């Protein structure tokens, strides 16, 4: 089976000179290539809210095997009731490409990646747009120039109704119109538009490669090519390098395992965790060679010096010490219980909270008591401890969370996870959804609406405040 390169690297592939160049992925597709390469396309509605991972019900399938009512888990932040148009992708391994949150040696891109080491069974990934979507949103998401969703749907179904060879020709021609330099478009595009097949069209591109540059030709072929492009590359002399790239990124082996359980087996063995630890936390090792262990003193030094905020481009952490320490807790090798208990006595409040959170699956009663103490800490560390307890059914801690909301510099992840908890709780309790609050722009007026909503429905909500993802994460020792 042949598909276009889904995580399209375009010029980055054609000119791939380094891993860093490939990490800066430029999407050179057109809307036709999004649609043609997608395993499935559907309108979905969020049934279980989440940060980075949410669960959806299919309400309107456009392409592929999904049927109305099917539940799918996707790597997307969403609140209950929100609808999205999702155009899915087939993701392939990119040599040297470093996905966000993964260090050297773990550069496999599959249908999904464990999100922050949460081994959740995902049903693919892709590009999406929240509905209702206007022309600007469609153009931003898919480079589509349609005035509304209905027009985009008609164009999509018309393209999918074409025989596969004609569909490939249409996609390649649209890509050529985008990428052929303006000064050459007249004569070359006329020749391309007269081509009766995708094989003939690719042949013209290859014949004009010196004029167009190999970058343009590679971009068009890799972003839109299928069987016709493969036949043209196999027949053309001197195209071994492009043919190799095409086979690597566009030819999908039907026997290749793509399930997330297989991805987890490849990505999360202890040797991968050890590699991650050395890459991101190598400066925290202490002791003699062969007997080196993590030093809490060195961790405290890093936190005091603001290391988490200094090396953002080199590590998968946000702007808080919690991200830095919790990632260490998730990756920590055998013997982590002792390390987590030592964290409870750390100087940095974020380190203490992270240690308690990750101690919960190891020693629940001990960690719970620690979190109750830490929930009284001032500011965001105390609020994160309160969030951890609220997610486990202790609704009394929601008030502490809502008091922090609306502060200009409050933690974005804390804010988002609070919204997700309230969204899921409202759906379970059968009360109206929380008022619309921006994920990132935490306006005081919006936060006041959220607190008022909690006050009105508190009695009904208190029995239903709980994170529905906890059951799936319980055996993973990951929060």
pLDDT of residue 326: 79
Residue 292 has a pLDDT of 55
Work out the pLDDT band at 268, boundaries 50, 70, 90: very low
Residue 262 lies inside a defined structural domain of this protein: no
- Cα separation, 268 vs 458, in Å, equals 41
Residues 430 and 341 in one domain: yes
429 vs 272, more confident: 429
State the residue range of the domain holding 196.
164-250
270-283 average pLDDT score? 61
Instruction: Specify the pLDDT at position 174.
Output: 94
> Is residue 102 located within the same domain as residue 212?
no
Give domain status of residue 434, yes or no.
yes
Tell me the β-bridge partners of 130.
84
Q: What is the pLDDT of residue 442?
A: 62
- Please tell me which of 266-270, 283-287, 329-333 the model is most confident about, judged by mean pLDDT: 329-333
Please report which confidence band the pLDDT of residue 366 belongs to, taking 50, 70 and 90 as the band edges: very high
**Which residue, 94, 128, 161, sits at the end of a domain?**
161
Q: Are residues 347 and 201 in the same domain?
A: no
Residues 279 and 414 in one domain: yes
Contact call for residues 57 and 44 (beta carbons, < 8 A): yes
Name the residue with tokens 């709980």: 466
The pLDDT assigned to 20 comes to: 30
Asked whether residue 422 is assigned to any structural domain, the reply reads: yes
Within a domain: 257? no
Q: Are 226 and 168 in contact (CB under 8 A)?
A: yes
pLDDT of residue 444: 75
Residue 443 lies in a domain: yes
d(CA 218, CA 299): 46
pLDDT on residue 91? 52
Same domain assignment for residues 339 and 367: yes
pLDDT above 90: percentage of residues in the chain: 42
Percent of the chain topping pLDDT 70: 72
Q: CA–CA separation, 479 vs 476, rounded Å?
A: 8
| pLDDT value for 103 | 30
Q: CB of 8 within 8 A of CB of 27?
A: yes
Q: Which tops the pLDDT comparison, 81 or 328?
A: 81
**What is the CA angle 7-8-10, rounded to 5?**
155
pLDDT bin (cut points 50, 70, 90) of residue 369 is very high
8 Å CB contact between 143 and 152: no
Is-contact 258 9, C-beta < 8 A? no
More confident position, 46 or 93: 46
| 110 and 96 co-located in one domain | yes
pLDDT of residue 15: 33
Q: What is the pLDDT of residue 105?
A: 28
Q: Is the pLDDT of residue 175 over 90?
A: yes
What is the per-residue pLDDT for 298? 72
CATH of the domain at 52: 2.40.50
pLDDT at 27: 67
Other C-beta atoms lying within 10 Å of the C-beta of residue 187 = 10
Considering the domain architecture, whether residues 218 and 351 belong to the same structural domain is answered as: no
Looking at the domain assignment, is residue 260 inside a domain? Answer: no
Average pLDDT, the chain: 78
Domain presence at residue 256: no
* Claim to verify: residue 137 and residue 216 sit in the same structural domain: no
* Residue 279, in any domain of the structure: yes
Of 128, 161, 194, the position where a domain reaches its end is 161
Lowest mean per-residue pLDDT among 180-189, 223-232, 417-426: 180-189
The residues, any chain, with a CB within 8 Å of residue 337's CB and separated by 6 or more, are 359, 362, 363
Give the model confidence (pLDDT) of 206-255 as tens digits. Answer: 998 888 888 899 989 988 999 999 999 999 998 888 988 888 777 654 44
Domain co-membership, 136 together with 232:
no
Q: How confident is the model at residue 62 (pLDDT cuts 50, 70, 90)?
A: very high
Domain count, the chain: 3
Are residues 227 and 273 both part of a single domain? Answer: no
Across 155-164, 257-266, 429-438, which has the greatest mean pLDDT?
A: 155-164
- Both 382 and 406 in one domain: the answer is yes
Considering only residues 83 and 479, tell me which one the structure prediction assigns the higher pLDDT: 83
**Residue 316 pLDDT grade (very low, low, confident, very high; cuts 50, 70, 90):** very low
pLDDT of amino acid 321: 73
Name the token pair of 154: 């008609």
- Lowest-confidence region among 27-31, 111-115, 326-330: 111-115
**Joined tokens for residue 98:** 């470093």
Tell me if 119 sits within 8 A of 289, measured CB to CB.
Answer: no
Instruction: State the pLDDT at residue 334.
Output: 64
Domain boundary among 220, 250, 280: 250
For residue 24, pLDDT over 80 is answered with no
Residue 150 sits in the same domain as residue 176:
no
Tell me whether strands 285-286 and 125-131 are parallel, antiparallel or unpaired. Answer: unpaired
Res. 365: pLDDT tops 60: yes
């Amino acid at each position: 089976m042949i598909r276009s390169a889904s995580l399209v690297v375009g010029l980055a592939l054609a000119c791939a000179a380094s891993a860093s160049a490939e990490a800066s992925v430029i999407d050179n597709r057109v809307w036709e290539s999004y649609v043609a390469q997608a395993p499935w396309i559907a309108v979905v509605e969020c049934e279980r809210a989440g940060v980075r991972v949410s669960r959806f019900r299919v309400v309107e399938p456009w392409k592929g095997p999904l049927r109305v009512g099917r539940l799918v888990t996707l790597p997307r932040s969403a609140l209950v009731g929100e609808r999205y148009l999702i155009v899915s992708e087939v993701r392939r391994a990119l040599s040297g490409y470093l996905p966000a949150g993964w260090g050297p040696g773990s550069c496999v891109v599959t249908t999904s990646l464990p999100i922050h080491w949460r081994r959740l069974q995902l049903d693919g990934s892709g590009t999406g747009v929240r509905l209702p979507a206007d022309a600007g949103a469609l153009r931003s998401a898919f480079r589509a120039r349609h005035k509304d969703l209905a027009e985009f749907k008609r164009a999509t179904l018309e393209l999918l109704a074409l025989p596969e060879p004609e569909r490939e020709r249409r996609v390649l021609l649209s890509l050529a119109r985008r990428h052929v330099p303006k000064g050459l478009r007249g004569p070359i595009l006329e020749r391309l538009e007269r081509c009766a097949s995708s094989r003939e069209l690719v042949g013209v591109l290859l014949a004009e490669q010196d004029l167009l540059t190999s970058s343009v030709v590679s971009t068009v072929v890799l972003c839109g090519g299928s069987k016709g492009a493969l036949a043209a590359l196999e027949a053309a002399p001197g195209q071994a390098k492009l043919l190799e790239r095409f086979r690597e990124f566009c030819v999908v082996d039907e026997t290749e395992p793509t399930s997330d359980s297989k991805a987890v087996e490849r990505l999360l063995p202890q040797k991968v965790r050890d590699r991650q630890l050395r890459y991101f936390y190598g400066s925290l090792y202490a002791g003699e060679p062969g007997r080196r262990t993590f030093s809490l003193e060195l961790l405290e030094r890093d936190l005091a010096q603001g290391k988490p905020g200094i090396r953002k481009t080199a590590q998968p952490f946000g702007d808080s010490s919690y991200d830095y320490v919790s990632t260490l807790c998730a990756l920590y090798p055998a013997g982590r219980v002792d390390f987590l208990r030592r964290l409870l006595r750390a100087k940095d409040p974020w380190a203490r909270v992270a240690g308690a959170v990750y101690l919960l699956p190891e020693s629940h009663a001990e960690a719970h008591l620690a979190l109750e103490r830490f929930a009284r800490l001032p500011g965001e560390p105390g609020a994160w401890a309160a969030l951890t307890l609220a997610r486990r059914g202790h609704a009394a801690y929601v008030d502490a969370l809502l008091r922090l909301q609306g502060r200009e510099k409050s933690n974005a992840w804390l804010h988002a996870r609070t919204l997700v908890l309230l969204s899921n709780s409202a759906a379970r309790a059968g009360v109206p959804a929380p008022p619309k609050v921006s994920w990132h722009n935490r306006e005081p007026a919006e936060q006041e609406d959220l607190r008022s909503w909690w006050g009105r429905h508190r009695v009904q909500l208190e029995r239903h405040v709980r994170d529905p993802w906890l059951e799936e994460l319980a055996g993973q020792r990951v929060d």
